[in-house]
Structure 1
Amino acid sequence: MASTPHTPEPSDRDELIARVMAFERTFQDTRLPETVDALLAVPLTIRQLKVLGVIMAGGGTVTSQHIATAFHISLATVSGLVERLVESGMVVRVANPADQRSHTLSPTDAGTAMMRNLMASTRRMRRDALSALEIDDLAALAQGLDALGRALSSAGQDPQNSQ
C-alpha cells in the first residue's frame, strides 16, 4: 500500500510556526558576532547610521525637518549629524530650487556603497549557511520561502523589502 504524505493537522500549525520562529532566533543568535563585526567596521556612529538610513529610504526627498520629526530631536542636533555625514562624504545637501533656505539630503555613492556593504554582510552569512544544506533540504526550504513570499504579497507586503 502506497503511503501518502502527512498533512499537518490545524493544531500542528502553531507548533510549526513556533519552530520557524525559534529557528529565526537561533540564526540571529548564531550570527550575532559576525553582525557586530560588520557594524563595527562602519565608520559612523549608530545615530549617524540611522540618519543615513532614513536619507537613503527617502529617495532624495528628505529634509532636516523630516529627520528631526522622525527621531524626535532638535534641528540643531540634526544639523550636527548631517554636517558630520557631509564631512565624511556619505551625504550631500541639495538646495531646493524653489526655496534656497531649504535643502534636501541625498546619499553619496560612498554612503550608498557603505550601506550596501553592511547589508551584504548579512546576505553573505545567509548564503554560507544555505550552501551547507543538502540539495533536497535546500529545495524544500526554497519551496517554503516561495509560499511565504506569496502569502506576504497577498497580504499587501513586499517580500523584497525584508531581504
Structure 2
Amino acid sequence: MADLIIAIRTGDVNKAGTDFDVDIKLVYSDGTQSNWKTLDNAGDDRERGDLNVYRVDGGSGEVAELSMRVKHESAHINKDVSYDAWYLSWIAVSRTNLSGKQLFYRPNRWVEVAQGDPNWHDVGLGSPDLSIPGGVILEITNAVGAIFS
C-alpha cells in the first residue's frame, strides 16, 4: 500500500545534484518506526533544481518524524573526486491525497560525504513544520499528476 508521498527538492545551485543512495525511516506518533526505505525512481534522481516525488507505504500510524541517511552509490565510490555533495532544499511528507498531518523540512544545506567512504551517514533534517506551504503543495500536485497518473 503506497499511501505516502515523499517529495524532495534539490537546490538550484552549481553542483547541487548527487548520485547518493538515499533512505528514509518513518517514525510514528506511538514511537514505532518503519524499516529503512530506499528512495529511487527510474532515471536520475536528485539532479540540480529537481523535484523528485516518491510513493511509499506509510503504514497505519500517524507519521510524526522522518529520518534520512545517505551514502555513495557503490559505482561511484572510486571516482576521482574528494567528496560528493548534495544541496537539499526541502522535504515534504503527506498522505497521497495531500490531507491529514503533513511534515515539511527545510534543511536548505549541503550534505557532504568524503569520497571513498562506503558508510551510511545520517542527514540532520531539523524540526519539521506541520504543514506544507501552498506553493509547494501546488508543485507536488503537478508532479504527482505528471508522474503517477
More helix by share: 1
Rg larger for: 1
TM-score range, shorter chain: under 0.3
More strand by share: 2
Q: Which has the higher contact order (CA 8 A, sep 6+)?
A: 2
How high is the TM-score relative to the length of structure 1?
0.23
